[in-house]
Chains A and B, each alone.
Chain A
Amino acid sequence: EAGVAQSPRYKIIEKRQSVAFWCNPISGHATLYWYQQILGQGPKLLIQFQNNGVVDDSQLPKDRFSAERLKGVDSTLKIQPAKLEDSAVYLCASSRGLGNYEQYFGPGTRLTVT
């Protein structure tokens, strides 16, 4: 069974530029999560999808961050414009559904904003 795929693995941009990350969850997993992990901290949930609907985006900075999962499979997370404090690892995870299901994480995208 293939794991959660993310790309790119690394990205360096200047502040005020835009960037997009892509995630392909495990086949058949209905729930998809995007997390932000700043160095030295635990992952913070940005947005959670159930199929193609948003379940929770309460911690997503909506003035600059957006995410979509149009067909209920893969997802993109965009930052526009980026700030220095957006430097972090962006993790995508998927699970079979809501409830006490195991989350499977991708390797993450390390973003550096200069």
Chain B
Amino acid sequence: TQLLEQSPQFLSIQEGENLTVYCNSSSVFSSLQWYRQEPGEGPVLLVTVVTGGEVKKLKRLTFQFGDARKDSSLHITAAQPGDTGLYLCAGKTSYDKVIFGPGTSLSVIP
């Protein structure tokens, strides 16, 4: 069974701080996605990474896919209260199945 682990589970930081959250697995994924989910809403896709070692930037967010395509990280620079939410990683297996991690709950305090 392929599993995704995310760390930390909870993160509370002050506005303006930097942070990194991690997504790890013992399995290889053909692609990996990061979503943000706000309370009472469904997840919204932030980025898809496909190539091992790939780095993508989305404004203050930097996403990296591990060389072996088993792990990924999300780095947020100068966090803002609007970044508050549940960050989910989701890996797509070679069988085209999408598996979600348990998420990192981020709270950015003004």
Contacts and interface: CB of A to CB of B under 8 A. Distances in A.
B92 A105 contact: no
Contacts of A91: 42-43
A107 interface: yes
**Range of interface residues on chain A?**
20 to 34
A107 B40 contact: yes
B97 A45 contact: yes
A108 B92 CA distance: 22
A37 to B, nearest CB: 8
B102 A102 contact: no
13 contacts: A41-B102, A42-B90, A42-B100, A42-B103, A43-B88, A91-B42, A98-B96, A100-B50, A102-B48, A106-B42, A107-B41, A108-B41, A108-B42
Contact of B92 (A42, A56, A100, A106): A100
B45 to A, nearest CB: 5
Interface residues of B, number: 21
Contacts of B90: 42
Interface of B: 4, 31, 40-45, 48, 50, 88, 90, 92, 96-103
Nearest to A91: B42
Contacts of A35: 100
Nearest to B95: A56
Interface string A29-52: 000000100001111110000000
Contacts of A43: 43, 88, 100
B39 to A, nearest CB: 10
A42 B87 CA distance: 10
A100 B103 contact: no
B50 A93 contact: no
A105 B92 CA distance: 17
A61 interface: no
B67 to A, nearest CB: 20
Contacts of A99: 96
A44 to B, nearest CB: 7
